[in-house]
Chain A
Amino acid sequence: MYRQLSLPLLLLVVLALSAFSTALMVGSASLSISDVWAVVRGDGDGLARTMVMELRLPRALSAFAVGGLLAVAGALMQVLLRNPLADPYVLGLSGGASIGALGAMLAGFGGVLMSGSAFAGALFSTFLVFGLAHGRGGWTPSRLLLTGVVVAAGWGAVITLMLAMSPAERLPGMLYWLMGDLSYARTPWPPLILLITICLVLVPLGRSLNVLARGPQQAAALGVDVRPLEWGIYVVASILTAAAVTTAGSIGFVGLVIPHMLRLLLGNDQRLILPACALAGGTLLVLADTLARTIIAPEQLPVGVITALLGVPTFLFLLYRSR
């Protein structure tokens, strides 16, 4: 059984490593694989060293962490809501984060203040949706989903209003943030450490999640403490998404498409799907970001455009093939 799990994961690790080497080689000045290898070994000339260690590697690591966080959060939301259309943003979280970030930009703040404001906005939206859906008596997945969709629509209106009222020179930055852009990422370590920690925490919960995916009553009858588990998933998925959005803006499609693709290819065992999502989501975003900064270099595209352009046809193809 462990072997069944390890082969696909091994393949995904190989894919991730090749995505990383591509990201390190390609850019304004191309490096050969041997240049990169020399830098990794500790030799290599100064310019190549700076390029790899200070520019490309941190950015690739950030991309990997954000992609992994979004894909894992999406997979968790889908199990929680037992709805294949759920994604990390379905509960209005990215809208809240966007209001926070755009508000900070309008006020002329950048850097840490903007990230903090985005994170606060994301968490505020999470609690708002949960509180409203909870109401009197407990929440149900459909009620949570509807509340989330309506709150997200509300945030959408506020975002349009803010864009309409902003001075023209601030608009490009704001639009890039809304599409998701990794040039806002400063240090890759917080999201990366979060991703690794959460994956380790989720391993022993995998089978309970499998049972929960069968419906809450069946899960309760099989010995799962459903309410605490659902709460846990909600909080974890929200924190993962908030961390991702804070690092790189709201990047679409990764959280929806990656879990689905993996389910179509690997089945629906969460013990395999969750780590596979972390690897595949990370890989996709590393590749997408490499494309985003090279296609029209020296200009950069928002990475969210690339994930959508890559993700949509791949997903539709897999769906079409799966009977």
Chain B
Amino acid sequence: MSRLVTQDLIIDVPGRQGGTPLNLTIEPGQSWGVLGPNGTGKTTLLHTLAGLKPPRSGHVKLADKPLAQQRRRQIARQLGMVFQDRQDGFPATVLETALIGRHPYLSPWQMEGADDYARAEQALERLDVAHLRDRLVNTLSGGERQRVAIATVLTQAPAIWLADEPTNHLDLHHQSAVMALMAEQAREGQAVMMCLHDLNLAARWCDHILLLYPNGDACWGPKEHMLVPSALESLYRQRLAVVEVDGAPVFVPIKG
């Protein structure tokens, strides 16, 4: 099974010494939320886990093999990444954009087949952007682009999802639709790890939480142990009020 394991991992955040070595095990079926204030290295952590950035020390293992020893193509068949910022160098249509999710599975001489198109179209349907299929991505709104980016990873169908603020730019309805999709992926046996700024989305949809502090300290565990108001207040340096809605805690910042 595709598990993602870190051994004494310290991520490379410029200008920060030390920090808690991370020994995480992200199992299939788990849904992790990464919380922390701006600039604590949430994105750096995801990039390190995806093998896009070397760690300062320690290892990341994917399916029991060190990430650094695996070929990118092999990694891309198991691990998908939703980026926070888009770099759309050249214009491409929405369908073409989703279709590149099939790249790791196709041999150099192979053209995309009917099956690949079907997967891409299904993913666009799922993210509610199928009606935009022939539009150029750079003419879309921020939220629409975000959904196209998620559809690309859904087309890639990885066993491990790393999503950097997947609800960025999304309206309320699509925020919960995307979180429901992530939860569904986890139920189906995929592992999901996402950076979030919205505590309430994390409280409702994640089962494990990793808290990253500005000085490099970290703690992690099942959400019941982590989403404690006192811990969150010191994490964000913000006083919080807690109410319960629908069986999940809702955190509201309060003055002072």
Contact = CB atoms under 8 A, between A and B. Distances in A.
A213 B101 CA distance: 14
A205 B83 CA distance: 24
A260 B72 CA distance: 31
A207 B106 contact: yes
A298 to B, nearest CB: 45
A217 B87 contact: yes
B14 interface: no
A228 B236 CA distance: 42
Contacts of A263: 90
Interface stretch (B60-68, B73-81, B184-192, B243-251): B73-81
B87 A215 contact: yes
A156 B97 CA distance: 41
21 contacts: A78-B90, A82-B89, A204-B109, A207-B103, A208-B103, A214-B87, A214-B88, A214-B92, A215-B87, A215-B88, A220-B52, A220-B72, A221-B81, A223-B73, A223-B74, A223-B75, A223-B103, A225-B71, A225-B72, A225-B73, A267-B93
Contact of A222 (B92, B93, B100, B112): B100
B50 interface: yes
Interface residues of B, number: 34
B174 to A, nearest CB: 22
B156 interface: yes
B90 A82 contact: yes
A204 B112 contact: no
In the A-B complex, the 10 residue pairs with the closest CB atoms: A223-B76, A215-B87, A82-B89, A204-B108, A223-B104, A223-B73, A221-B81, A1-B111, A213-B90, A222-B103
A314 interface: no
Interface in B39-77: 47, 50, 52, 71-77
B72 to A, nearest CB: 5
A211 interface: yes
A218 B104 contact: no
B96 interface: yes
A221 B76 CA distance: 6
Interface in B16-44: none
A213 B89 contact: yes
B222 interface: no
Contacts of A214: 87-90, 92, 97, 100
Given A1-B112, A268-B90, A268-B91, A221 B80 contact: yes
A175 B220 CA distance: 70
A174 B97 CA distance: 48
A220 B77 CA distance: 12
A155 B92 CA distance: 36
A269 B96 CA distance: 9
Interface in A25-70: none
Contacts of A267: 92-93, 96
A222 B83 contact: no
Interface of A: 1-2, 78-79, 82, 84, 203-205, 207-208, 210-211, 213-215, 217-218, 220-225, 263, 267-269
Contacts of B156: 222
Residue of B83, B87, B96 contacting most chain A CB atoms (<10 Å): B87
Contact of B83 (A82, A213, A218): A218
Contact of B87 (A211, A218, A224): A218
A267 B75 CA distance: 30
B207 to A, nearest CB: 25
A268 B100 CA distance: 13
Nearest to B106: A207
A210 B106 CA distance: 13
A220 B112 CA distance: 19
A263 B93 CA distance: 13
B215 to A, nearest CB: 27
Contacts of B93: 267
Contacts of A217: 47, 52, 83, 87
B72 A224 contact: yes
A168 B93 CA distance: 55
B160 to A, nearest CB: 12
Interface string B101-133: 101101011011100000000000000000000
Nearest to B114: A1
Given A2-B111, A214-B88, A224-B103, 14 more contacts: A207-B108, A214-B92, A214-B97, A215-B86, A217-B83, A217-B87, A218-B87, A220-B52, A220-B72, A223-B75, A223-B104, A225-B72, A267-B92, A268-B96
Contacts of B87: 82, 214-215, 217-218
Contacts of A205: 108
A215 B100 CA distance: 12
A87 to B, nearest CB: 15
Nearest to A323: B139
Nearest to A1: B111
Nearest to A84: B90
A269 to B, nearest CB: 7
